[in-house]
Structure 1
């Protein structure tokens, strides 16, 4: 089914996740910071937002793009208060808010672990760079090491790439682009030298996660629709094994609830792969046999 056949408000499940777009105009969802515990939130201009840690070492902000309200520039820095940034992460374009949430959650974890050392910049210099890109290597991304001080990781669909400039200071710097085509990238991310490797790992882990993101058709970034795989939410057919597991767990939305016995015998009545209630069964067939009393009771 083509996306052109769906209404703008139709919800679809999108893979790969890095081509899904922001997914919401509630940009504060990207910040898991405890504002009720000393973190501050400022809105100096319309749409412009800045969040700060109580000690002012961590500064993160969002500046919307006036030409595209659904995207903009996200910047996160760690610095001495009012001093230059020790390291900086920048995201531009239609970056998924779920990705920003994951990265900021990891940042908050590092910050809490480091609160007793206010002179630090969360560098984590003892963590090797390989920990940052390992999730890509374990999920089929290609890896090329160049003699000019760069190594490149490309997604299996060639729609995204991560560059690691490993000669650029502490653990090197990083550049990511999504939807590499003859047009401009859908979004980009840059991490300067000194960015904690655990943040890179959280970033890379999001890229390879196989759980689709829910999006309305109208919210998909247009240039990326040539590469993404989107399935209408209501037309997704679960594999039978998934349906069985979901039914037994009580999480399957369609069909009647599982019961302890049915017309087939002891077990559970479940929907089939098409969602028809009571059309399939998991468990034993026929009447129960003699109960055997032992360390393990079985029929």
Structure 2
């Protein structure tokens, strides 16, 4: 029977919340998820300031002015960029560049650990600190069953048991300026996709000075076997045959729906990978991608 004129036909693939949102695993293949997974905790961080540009681009600054976080919509790399400078007006000491398809859980694990430890310059996580853990990212992943991949020129890789996520350590000396200019030259990289070594769907880069416990937080989130909530049509095109999904329970679906309202379609997280301009500092070309 035709629908009355006042009732629009259902949208393609439309259905109940349980069918629109699923629990997907592994997180490495689940897609970016909702940017609010990251932004909500930053919005709630005490003393942090937030600026919105062009209606969509978000920029955060720590109370100490040493950390800048950028999440603009358009850029070459896309994603979240976190820059730390001991001298608030100086060149960054380290930069983390997490591309637009990086799972939000991997990004938020990094930013949450950053916000939590910044107040005392991460002293609790250093040797002798109350939260110090001697296990670095590589050892943490090895404990989760990640194994070394065949040696590739200039890099050492660890690969997840399912082969769909990887951790790369660039070998040889790193030139700090080169790393800051080009994320692909960064010392450490997390990646995921059907071929995470040579053709990853997403990449997260960390320059040499990045605190190890922050990288370890992201690595732990990436290795977590628990499924994550996703809008089903936002799972990247090549991934569904490799992703295990199940209908999400209504209460979890509603939470996912609330987080995703600001990103209505697939390829939801369209964000930048550059730190914000700092007063008194002329940014190099990389800042203008």
Same-fold call, TM cutoff 0.5: yes
Q: Is the 8 A contact 1:87 1:192 kept in 2?
A: yes
Structure-1 residue corresponding to 2:62:
53
Say which structure is richer in helix.
2
RMSD between aligned residues: 3.7
Structure-2 residue corresponding to 1:105:
112
CA positional deviation for 1:16: 0.6
Aligned partners of 1:6, 1:154: CA distance in 2, in Å?
36
- Off by >6 Å, runs of 4+ in structure 1: 125-129
Higher relative contact order (CA 8 A, sep 6+): 2
Aligned partners of 2:150, 2:162: CA distance in 1, in Å?
19
Report the secondary structure of 2:209's partner residue.
Answer: coil
Larger CA deviation: 148-157 vs 82-91: 148-157
Larger CA deviation: 183-192 vs 208-217: 183-192
Structure-1 residue corresponding to 2:140:
135
Structure-2 residue corresponding to 1:243:
none
Structure-2 residue corresponding to 1:238:
none
Aligned partners of 1:203, 1:27: CA distance in 2, in Å?
14
CA positional deviation for 1:6: 8.8
Q: Is the 8 A contact 1:128 1:197 kept in 2?
A: no
Aligned partners of 1:210, 1:131: CA distance in 2, in Å?
19
Tell me which of 241, 247, 260 is aligned to 1:226: 241
Report the secondary structure of 2:162's partner residue.
Answer: coil
Query: What CA deviation, in whole Å up to 9, does each residue of 1:24-44 have, x standing for no partner?
Result: 253653643645x32100112
Structure-2 residue corresponding to 1:62:
71
Aligned partners of 1:92, 1:210: CA distance in 2, in Å?
21
Aligned partners of 1:77, 1:129: CA distance in 2, in Å?
25
Aligned length: 222
Note closer, same or farther for the CA distance 1:66–1:76 as it changes in structure 2 (3 Å cut).
closer
Note closer, same or farther for the CA distance 1:125–1:197 as it changes in structure 2 (3 Å cut).
farther
Structure-2 residue corresponding to 1:285:
none
Report the secondary structure of 1:75's partner residue.
Answer: strand
TM-score calculated relative to the size of structure 2: 0.65
TM-score calculated relative to the size of structure 1: 0.63
Aligned partners of 1:209, 1:33: CA distance in 2, in Å?
25
Structure-2 residue corresponding to 1:185:
200
Aligned partners of 1:66, 1:164: CA distance in 2, in Å?
25
Q: Is the 8 A contact 1:65 1:72 kept in 2?
A: yes
Q: Is the 8 A contact 2:170 2:188 kept in 1?
A: yes
User: Structure 1 residue 72 and structure 2 residue 81: aligned?
Assistant: no
Q: Which runs of 5+ in 1 are unaligned?
A: 117-121, 235-299
Say which structure is richer in strand.
1
CA positional deviation for 1:149: 5.1
Note closer, same or farther for the CA distance 1:52–1:161 as it changes in structure 2 (3 Å cut).
same
Aligned partners of 2:122, 2:145: CA distance in 1, in Å?
37
Aligned partners of 1:66, 1:150: CA distance in 2, in Å?
27
